[in-house]
Amino acid sequence: MKKLAEIVVIDPGAIVQWGNEYYLPERSYIGYKAYQDFLERRHDKISLTVLCLGKIRKVDAHEVARLKWFKADSLSVSPQGAQEYIQKCDGKTVILSLLNESTVWLTRLHMKNVKIVYLIENTRKNKVSLILSQGNFSTLSKFRAVLGSYRVEWQLQRAARKADGLQCNGSAAFRAYGQKHKNSILFYDHRVENVISLEKQSSFKDGANISVAFSGRIIKIKGSEYLSRISWAIYRANPLIKLYILGDGEDRNKVIAEGAPNIIYKGFMEYKKEWEPFVRKNIDIMLLPHIQGDPSMTYFESLGQGVPVIGFDNETLADLAQQGMGWVVPQGDVQQLVQKIMHLNDDIGEFQMKRAKAVEFMNGHVYSSTVKWRMDHIISSLRP
């Protein structure tokens, strides 16, 4: 069947090749496959192509151990880089790309049949927090970083205004970009399709101790430097409360070596087969002490398992807490964070209220609805 239009998704660099096979992080594959399946069901004359900004990176075997292998015919992936591929597009095309310094050139293409929809994830504030978290900066260096962030932000806002549409991942991104564009949508990115039922009881019941977990990359921007301190503060307050660590990262050994006896390290988990069922069965609250506020999927995927989130004040978690789905404490305040956990351990009513809010919210934002919302928005850009 002849295709009348094409959607081109520029992957931010996660596609890799080992031998003759392609690999992606599991969540990326689930996302792209959902887009393709949606088009095949609803708009079979529109094709989907996934490609990298540059050429697909070739890697060694050990680098694909935790990635998702997929059959070449299950997802349309082009080995060409974005510029090379897009220059050859001669029909109606919509390009979906993350907005950053490396993609602002897309709005300068001036190709008649090519539309640009940008994905917005991080605000200027989040980016500055990320930069400053990478090391110890002098006052002058901090000033230069902040000043430079305004220069970059001007470029990004200019590109966003020229785009044909914006898709804003999270409320903070929508406030910073979406409210200024006539064709923008707000969504929450995750991979939760089946939200837990409130009829399914949490493991946290009267007389039991609350179960806490950290999930994600064990690196500085995710709050790894605080995990051992948090574990000891919890252990001293109540040695029966467990702190599960789900994930892996460069600070893993340090956290485990310096942490309290209540740490139970579970390691990296496949999302659908392992992470979802484990969190649903064993975890009551998710500890995400992120020092910057990017809209991590883990926030929403935890909520979808009926697990409210606690962590440091940032743009993403502050919004969720305001809507009644979690708790925030000031950045770096381990004592106040642990005091809150101890309070929750003694107040099952507050926990149940937050859990109910989380389930209600996620039932209104299941992944299939999010895919439809985003794809309908992209397809609307094809119309004159």
Query: With 70 as the cut, is the pLDDT of residue 15 above it?
Result: yes
How many C-beta atoms lie closer than 10 Å to residue 199's C-beta?
5
Q: What is the dihedral of CA 294, 299, 304, 308, to 10 degrees?
A: -150
Compute the chain's Rg from CA coordinates: 22
Residue 7: what are its φ and ψ, rounded to 5°?
-105, 125
**Residues spanned by CATH 3.40.50.2000 within the chain?**
212-363
- State mean pLDDT over 93-122: 93
Q: Determine contact, residues 184/127, Cβ cutoff 8 Å.
A: no
- State mean pLDDT over 318-323: 96
Q: DSSP secondary-structure letter at 216?
A: S
CATH class of the region 5-192+366-379: alpha beta
State pLDDT tens for residues 20-47: 889 999 999 999 999 999 999 999 999 9
Q: What is the dihedral of CA 10, 16, 20, 21, to 10 degrees?
A: -90
Cα gap 25→69, rounded to integer Å: 9
Residue 17: what are its φ and ψ, rounded to 5°?
-125, 130
Query: With 80 as the cut, is the pLDDT of residue 110 above it?
Result: no
- State mean pLDDT over 374-381: 96
C-alpha torsion sign, points 136, 140, 142, 145: negative
State pLDDT tens for residues 62-80: 899 899 988 777 899 998 9
Position 84 confidence tier, pLDDT thresholds 50, 70, 90: very high
pLDDT confidence of residue 271: 96
> Could you tell me how far CA 372 lies from the centroid of its own chain?
18
State pLDDT tens for residues 167-223: 999 999 999 999 989 999 999 999 999 999 987 767 666 668 999 999 999 999 999
Edge-to-edge order in the sheet of strand 21-24: 57-58, 16-18, 21-24, 68-70
- State mean pLDDT over 71-90: 88
Cα gap 15→23, rounded to integer Å: 6
Q: Hey, what CATH topology would domain 212-363 get?
A: Rossmann fold (3.40.50)
Q: What is the pTM of this model?
A: 0.93
* DSSP states of 59-81: --GGGGTTSEEE-TTTS-EEEEE
